[in-house]
């Protein structure tokens, strides 16, 4: 594609966004006036249609993207169309939704406004069903930005649901989607003045763009979920759960397991159990071959192998494995840039760690989450309630599922968590919430608050009539400038500190900006007492950005004169 052609597509995409946003804003005015009964009728009709088309939509998604397994995508479509629907159906989202009689407070729901919804290629149809349902339930018009690799299946899903919604009385423009999809068009959508809130599901770059758009945004970062098998666990069930979670739709859910951490005392039994259930452990040489084809230079999963079966991945790496292999396991000794397979892999490949006990496992799991999964999800397989509680208290993950697959438990399929396809990572992951996102997050709540205590007479007798006198200030001690200087020199000398001056940076003495920075990169730079050069295209994980900014490690080459 020539630059001129690309520019023309960008302009067409932006023009389309402007048109869709205007229509959505008009539809929003009408949706705001809908009753609860009208909204529920529309949502019911859309869910019914989506459930009826779960299988053909799943087949279309796999055919277009090449990711995942049709049967598993059917299950995800039904999860969105049935379980999410069953969860949101009784919600009150119109008018008075709660009265607190003891506090004399009345809560009234208001829709947030037009939603810009970015849909990924890994879970395209199920995410589309889910986002449309929760948006309309909250009386919010929605505009979808499909991933370029999944335009057909996302568009088809949206068409079916929009047609069902219109038949049930939804206004024109309440559900729309981009047909000419470009990065510039998606950015224009997220920044558009008629858009009120962003639902962003995708890679780190996309989520960063959503949070930089100047709008309230719900973004979800990478998962990199560890699964810990503690010595008291039911080993057979634990291994089965991990294999089930990791192979579900070939591992494309961001909450699927990415690492196994196991107590040394049961490690051999766990290894045998994995092998009996279709697991293959790689040798050191095979592990190196695997990381060479699976992990890019930016420390991201190779998109050509995302959602592909273990047998295909092994073949690409030149590894000979049994034909019934379901998952590859690579033993590792550490986490971080020197261990490429410790990243989120989005395919049936697991890193495998052996530790002495749960305390060491606790630290290892924190390291794994710190390398691209902060705030997301992990699992613990154990019968020891004390250890389980300790993991709940100490782990930087907001979904710690117990004795169940992370992929299924995190979204509320096998646990009591709110059913959702968008999982907030909270402050740990740089997100605005740690919740599973639902229609509640697309509502603003007005509150009528009646007086329950008089502002004039309450507690007046308890207030002191006069303020107590302040204690006398100590007499100032005057020191000569030379005395101050001598004391500072003595202080620094006792601690053997040296004051260094940062060299002046200019365009002539900086290196090329890096493409990706994680927390471990920042810590290594601190140990080596060097800077990290970045620019606007550099992908920086939230934890890395916080630490690097605090310790002044980053030099933005775009800002250097």
Phi, psi of 384 (to 5 degrees): -95, 105
Dist. CA 371–CA 367, nearest whole Å: 6
pLDDT at 478: 59
219: pLDDT confidence band, cut at 50, 70 and 90? confident
Closest alpha carbon to 421 in 132, 192, 213, 143: 132
pLDDT at 148: 94
Tokens (6 digits) for 349:
């490949």
pLDDT at 55: 98
Residue carrying the six token digits 């890193």 = 351
| Bridge partners, 117 (sequence order) | 144, 199
pTM: 0.81
Q: How many CB atoms lie within 10 A of CB 222?
A: 23
Residue 537 confidence (pLDDT) above 80: no
Buried b / exposed e over 415-440, threshold 16 CB at 10 Å, is bebbbbbbbbbbebbbbeebbbbbbb
CB 374 within 8 A of CB 543: yes
CB 86 within 8 A of CB 40: no
DSSP labels for 81-139? IIIIHHHHTT---SEEEEEETTTTEEEEEEE--EEEEEE-SSSHHHHHHHHHHHHHHTT
Tokens (6 digits) for 359:
């305390």
pLDDT at 297: 85
pLDDT in tens, 56-73: 999 999 999 999 999 999
CB 412 within 8 A of CB 436: yes
Residue 362 appears among annotated catalytic residues:
no
Q: ∠ at Cα 126 (217, 426), nearest 5°?
A: 30
Q: What is the CATH number of domain 3-221+439-447?
A: 3.40.605.10
pLDDT at 527: 86
Longest CA–CA span in the chain (Å) reads 87
Q: Which of 208-217, 353-362, 400-409, 444-453 has the lowest mean pLDDT?
A: 208-217
Phi, psi of 376 (to 5 degrees): -85, -95
> Of the listed 140, 254, 347, 425, which one is catalytic?
254
Q: What is the CATH number of domain 225-415?
A: 3.40.309.10
Dist. CA 381–CA 359, nearest whole Å: 15
Tokens (6 digits) for 226:
């560890």
CB 541 within 8 A of CB 520: no
Q: Domain boundaries in the chain? A: 3-221+439-447, 225-415, 479-561
Tokens (6 digits) for 263:
């107590």
pLDDT in tens, 66-99: 999 999 999 999 999 999 999 999 999 999 999 9
Strands (E), 204-348: 217-220, 225-229, 257-263, 279-281, 327-331
pLDDT in tens, 171-180: 999 999 999 9
pLDDT in tens, 123-143: 999 999 999 999 999 999 999
Mean pLDDT of the chain: 90
CB 89 within 8 A of CB 41: no
Q: Which of 442-451, 488-497, 550-559 has the lowest mean pLDDT?
A: 488-497
Closest alpha carbon to 158 in 192, 187, 115: 115
Listed in sequence order, the residues at least 6 apart from 53 whose beta carbon sits closer than 8 Å to its beta carbon are: 77, 157, 160
| Bridge partners, 355 (sequence order) | 263
Query: 46 in helix, strand or coil?
Result: helix
Residue carrying the six token digits 């000794």 = 333
Tokens (6 digits) for 13:
């995409």
pLDDT in tens, 339-352: 999 999 999 999 99
Dist. CA 226–CA 377, nearest whole Å: 8
Pairing of strands 142-146, 114-119: parallel
Pairing of strands 327-331, 279-281: parallel
Residue 498 confidence (pLDDT) above 60: no
Strands (E), 335-411: 349-355, 375-381, 397-402
Residue 375 confidence (pLDDT) above 50: yes
């Amino acid at each position: 594609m020539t630059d001129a052609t690309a520019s023309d597509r960008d302009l067409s995409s932006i023009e389309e966004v402007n048109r869709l946003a205007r229509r959505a804003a008009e539809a929003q005015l009408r949706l705001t006036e809908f009753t609860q009964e009208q909204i529920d009728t529309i949502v019911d009709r859309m869910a019914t249609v989506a459930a009826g088309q779960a299988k053909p939509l799943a087949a279309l998604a796999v055919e277009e993207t090449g990711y995942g397994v049709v049967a598993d995508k059917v299950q995800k479509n039904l999860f969105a169309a049935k379980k999410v629907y069953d969860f949101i159906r009784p919600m009150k989202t119109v008018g008075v939704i709660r009265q607190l009689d003891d506090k004399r407070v009345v809560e009234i729901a208001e829709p947030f406004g037009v939603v810009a919804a970015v849909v990924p290629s890994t879970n395209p149809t199920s995410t589309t069903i889910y986002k449309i349902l929760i948006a309309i339930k909250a009386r919010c018009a929605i505009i979808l930005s499909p991933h370029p690799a999944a335009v057909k299946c996302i568009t088809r899903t949206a068409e079916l649901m929009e047609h069902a919604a219109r038949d049930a009385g939804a206004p024109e423009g309440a559900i729309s989607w981009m047909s000419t999809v470009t990065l510039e068009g998606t950015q224009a959508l997220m920044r558009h003045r008629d858009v009120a809130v962003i639902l962003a599901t995708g890679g780190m770059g996309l989520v960063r763009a959503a949070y930089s758009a100047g709008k309230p945004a719900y973004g979800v970062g990478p998962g990199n979920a560890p699964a810990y098998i503690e010595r008291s666990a039911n080993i057979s069930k634990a291994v089965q759960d991990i294999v089930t979670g990791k192979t579900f739709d070939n591992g494309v859910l961001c909450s699927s397991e990415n690492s196994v951490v196991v107590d040394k005392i049961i490690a051999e039994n766990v290894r045998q159990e994995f092998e009996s259930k279709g697991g293959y452990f790689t040798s050191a040489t095979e592990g190196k071959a695997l990381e060479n084809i699976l992990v890019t230079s930016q420390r991201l999963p190779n998109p050509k192998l995302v959602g592909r079966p273990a047998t295909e991945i092994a073949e690409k790496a030149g590894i000979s494995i049994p034909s019934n292999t379901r998952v590859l396991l690579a033993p590792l000794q550490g986490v971080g840039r020197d261990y490429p397979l410790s990243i989120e892999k989005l395919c049936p490949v697991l890193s495998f760690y052996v530790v002495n006990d749960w305390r060491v496992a606790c630290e290892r799991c924190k390291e794994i989450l710190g390398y691209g999964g902060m705030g997301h999800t992990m699992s613990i397989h154990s019968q020891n309630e004390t250890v389980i509680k300790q993991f709940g208290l100490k782990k930087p993950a907001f979904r710690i599922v117990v004795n169940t697959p992370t992929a299924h438990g995190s979204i509320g399929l096998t646990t009591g968590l709110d059913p959702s396809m968008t999982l907030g990572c909270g402050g740990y992951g740089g997100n605005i919430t740690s919740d599973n996102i639902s229609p509640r997050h697309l509502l603003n709540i007005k509150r009528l608050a009646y007086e329950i205590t008089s502002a004039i007479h309450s507690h007046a007798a308890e207030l002191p009539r006069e303020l107590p006198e302040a204690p006398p200030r100590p007499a100032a001690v005057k020191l000569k400038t030379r005395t101050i200087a001598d004391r500072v020199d003595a202080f620094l000398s006792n601690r053997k500190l040296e004051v260094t001056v940062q060299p002046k940076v200019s365009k002539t003495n900086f290196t090329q900006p890096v493409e990706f920075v994680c927390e471990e990169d920042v810590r290594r730079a601190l140990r080596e007492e060097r800077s990290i050069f970045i620019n606007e295209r550099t992908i920086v994980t939230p934890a890395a950005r916080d630490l690097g900014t605090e310790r002044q490690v980053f030099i933005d080459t775009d800002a250097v004169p």
